[in-house]
Amino acid sequence: MSETSTGAAGLSDTSAAHERSRLSFDLDADICVVGAGLAGLTVALEAARLGASVAVLEGRHVGWNASGHQLGTVMPGYGLPVGELIARVGFEDARKLWSLSRQGADLVRANASEELMPGIGLTEGALEVSKIDVGDQLISRLKMLSEDFETEVEGWQVDRVREQLKTGHYFHGAYYPKAFQVDGRKYIHGLAALARRAGARIFEDTPVVSIDPSGIRKRIVTPSARLRASHIVLAGNIHLGAPLKRLSETLLPVWRYAAVTAPLGERLAEAITFQGSVTDSDGVDHFRIVDGDRLMWSSPETTWAARPQRFAGAIERRIRTIFPRLGKVEISDVFGGAVGQTVHGMPQIGQLRKGLWVTSGFGRQGLNTSAMAGQLIAQSILRGDERWRLFSPFELVWAGGPTGRVAGHIVGMWGRGNSAAAGVLARYRERARARERIREARLVEANRQAGTRPPRPRPPPGQPRPARPAPPAAVEPGAPAQGESENG
Ligand SMILES: Cc1cc2nc3c(=O)[nH]c(=O)nc-3n(C[C@H](O)[C@H](O)[C@H](O)COP(=O)(O)OP(=O)(O)OC[C@H]3O[C@@H](n4cnc5c(N)ncnc54)[C@H](O)[C@@H]3O)c2cc1C
């Protein structure tokens, strides 16, 4: 995984610069957090802000996995579409869960101020585009989001989308003016800095090799030290491993790769004028402009770990397919990380047994959801807030082990293949409609010039031609015209 900064502030990032310390002495704390990704660091920050003593144990370094290699887009909601959320938990609880997801985004916004995280480069607005022509479906979803889920969202017609994104691959769009993006890498290191400032201690190169969650004071074992804490929060995502293997097995790991192009100059502005993040409704492509004239693009996925550099060519081709007018683009950096997908598509947030917590399974949408989870868990431990129970219907489900990974890959490929095929079909239909409109206009013009009427439309094959209408009957003066009744 490379160490690319994912924002307009450029590729040189100094925010990660701090002295790494490994836990080499036994320690007591109120809360021990396993994992220094977005999930673990948000719990640590929130709990430390509420006055708890917190130790974070990280096996590698802050932001080592997905959290240090994300694109920084902060949207409301979850990986699970809102319709499916309602089907699963009912309308009222879906509304509450959705509102929590917005609170998560608000928390990221509050943390990501220039004052707290200099150079974070927060910019507003994100656009979700459809790859098939589904205007009606989109409008009903937008209506529900804005009327029932208090989310600001605008429907964009195809023309408006294509004014900003010069490609025939996208149709309608949903524009979220309150969504935003930040420099993803700066955010994770900024979060670590805020947590430290609030009093949390972060130990890197400190893998947790086992835990004993029984008893009031729980024990945590690392290669060179032991820790005792009243609460353990497992935030290790797919790499958690030995401390609770069965928990890791409830996640399907998906490696996602992204690239940043070399500066593209004027040609980028000619192809893309939208300045926020763009995601497609199938979750295949996700991109935005960084540094003024570079494109940051995330697309391919695998269910096994691979070197991100292997995907440079695939990302370059994908960019060219969607925006042919860009021509060949040079890739200057490739990076990636593994996200944990749950079987039901919702994150794992809650208490497994007294004092043992989990915050994981955030999939591709981890910024707002992990922030909300951190806040819920810290407030539950320290303030008795029980709202995390809203996530109880989404229990831990075994993700199928290695067979599940193969199945997940096939399902993913099928879904992507399907959406690509649907996109091709939608674009074909659109071209056919345009050709038909041109043909009709030419016919009308030819008839006008020739002074003739257009021919009657042919009946569909197998159906008789309709009878010619009878010539109008001669109307006697004072008699009612055809269709008029005698008495009115
Ligand atoms: C290319 C890409 C782009 C993305 N873009 C976005 C985006 O724009 N917006 C968005 O919302 N989301 C995005 N995501 C998703 C987001 O990055 C993830 O959902 C999120 O980072 C998950 O955070 P986490 O803390 O749960 O996991 P991780 O980032 O995996 O962190 C877990 C940490 O725990 C540590 N750990 C594990 N086990 C142990 C152990 N036993 N002992 C000690 N430490 C341990 C690991 O070393 C790791 O550092 C993207 C993901 C990728 C890969």
Q: What is the pLDDT along the chain (488 residues), one digit of tens a residue?
A: 554 444 433 333 334 556 789 999 999 999 999 999 999 999 999 999 999 999 999 999 999 999 999 999 999 999 998 999 999 999 999 999 999 999 999 999 999 999 999 999 999 999 999 988 877 777 788 989 999 999 999 999 999 999 999 999 999 999 999 999 999 999 999 999 999 999 999 999 999 999 999 999 999 999 999 999 999 999 999 999 999 998 989 999 999 999 999 999 999 999 999 999 999 988 889 999 999 999 999 988 899 999 999 999 999 999 999 999 999 999 999 999 999 999 999 999 999 999 999 999 999 999 999 999 999 999 999 999 999 999 999 988 777 776 656 555 555 555 555 555 556 656 666 666 677 777 777 777 777 777 666 555 555 445 555 444 443 333 333 333 333 333 32
pLDDT of residue 17: 58
Percent of the chain with pLDDT over 70: 81
Q: How far is the CA of 84 from the centre of ligand 1 (A)?
A: 24
The reply to whether ligand 1 has any atom less than 6 angstroms from the CB of 369 is no
Q: Which atom of ligand 1 is nearest to the CA of 63?
A: 49
- The conformation of residue 462, written as its DSSP 8-state character, comes to T
Measure CA 434 to chain center. Answer: 33
pLDDT of residue 442: 76
Which of 340, 271, 437, 377 lies closest to 52 in space, CA to CA? 377
User: Cα(239)–Cα(250) distance, rounded to whole angstroms?
Assistant: 12
The reply to whether ligand 1 has any atom less than 6 angstroms from the CB of 70 is yes
Q: How far is the CA of 9 from the centre of ligand 1 (A)?
A: 22
The reply to whether ligand 1 has any atom less than 6 angstroms from the CB of 207 is yes
The reply to whether ligand 1 has any atom less than 6 angstroms from the CB of 360 is yes
Q: Which atom of ligand 1 is nearest to the CA of 206?
A: 43
The reply to whether ligand 1 has any atom less than 6 angstroms from the CB of 69 is yes
pLDDT tens-place string over residues 257-296 = 999 999 999 999 999 999 999 999 888 899 999 999 999 9
| Residue 204, SS3 per DSSP | coil
The reply to whether ligand 1 has any atom less than 6 angstroms from the CB of 33 is no
| 3-state class percentages of the chain: helix first, strand second, coil last, to nearest 5 | 40, 20, 40
The reply to whether ligand 1 has any atom less than 6 angstroms from the CB of 38 is yes
The reply to whether ligand 1 has any atom less than 6 angstroms from the CB of 365 is yes
How buried is residue 325: exposed, middle or buried, by Cβ count under 10 Å (0-12/13-18/19+)?
Answer: exposed
Q: Which atom of ligand 1 is nearest to the CA of 336?
A: 1
Q: Are 381 and 47 in contact (CB under 8 A)?
A: yes
Closest C-alpha to ligand 1, atom 3: 70
Q: Are 445 and 452 in contact (CB under 8 A)?
A: no
How buried is residue 146: exposed, middle or buried, by Cβ count under 10 Å (0-12/13-18/19+)?
Answer: middle
pLDDT of residue 284: 85
Alpha helices in 215-310 (DSSP H): 245-248, 266-271
pLDDT of residue 15: 46
Closest C-alpha to ligand 1, atom 21: 67
For residue 193, give both structure tokens: 């800095």
The identity of residue 428, as a single letter, is: Y
User: Cα(297)–Cα(261) distance, rounded to whole angstroms?
Assistant: 8
Q: How far is the CA of 444 from the centre of ligand 1 (A)?
A: 60
The reply to whether ligand 1 has any atom less than 6 angstroms from the CB of 258 is yes
Q: How far is the CA of 46 from the centre of ligand 1 (A)?
A: 18
- Residue 431's φ and ψ, nearest 5 degrees, are -65, -40
The reply to whether ligand 1 has any atom less than 6 angstroms from the CB of 65 is yes
The reply to whether ligand 1 has any atom less than 6 angstroms from the CB of 61 is no
The identity of residue 116, as a single letter, is: L
Q: How far is the CA of 392 from the centre of ligand 1 (A)?
A: 22
Q: Which atom of ligand 1 is nearest to the CA of 298?
A: 1
Q: How far is the CA of 238 from the centre of ligand 1 (A)?
A: 9
CA distances from 260 to 34, 103, 170, 332, 437 (A): 31, 30, 22, 6, 40
Please report which helix (H) or strand (E) contains residue 256, including its range: strand 252-261
Q: How many CB atoms lie within 10 A of CB 30?
A: 16
Q: Which atom of ligand 1 is nearest to the CA of 64?
A: 49
Q: Are 352 and 240 in contact (CB under 8 A)?
A: no
Instruction: Read off the pTM.
Output: 0.84
| Residue 320, SS3 per DSSP | helix
The reply to whether ligand 1 has any atom less than 6 angstroms from the CB of 336 is yes
Q: How far is the CA of 164 from the centre of ligand 1 (A)?
A: 31
The reply to whether ligand 1 has any atom less than 6 angstroms from the CB of 72 is yes
For residue 76, give both structure tokens: 């409301």
Which of 458, 253, 333 lies closest to 71 in space, CA to CA? 333
Which of 195, 180, 212 lies closest to 104 in space, CA to CA? 180
The identity of residue 53, as a single letter, is: S
The reply to whether ligand 1 has any atom less than 6 angstroms from the CB of 251 is no
The reply to whether ligand 1 has any atom less than 6 angstroms from the CB of 278 is no
For residue 269, give both structure tokens: 């502005």
Mutating to test ligand 1, I would choose from 1, 6, 41, 58 the residue with most ligand atoms within 8 A of its C-beta, which is: 58
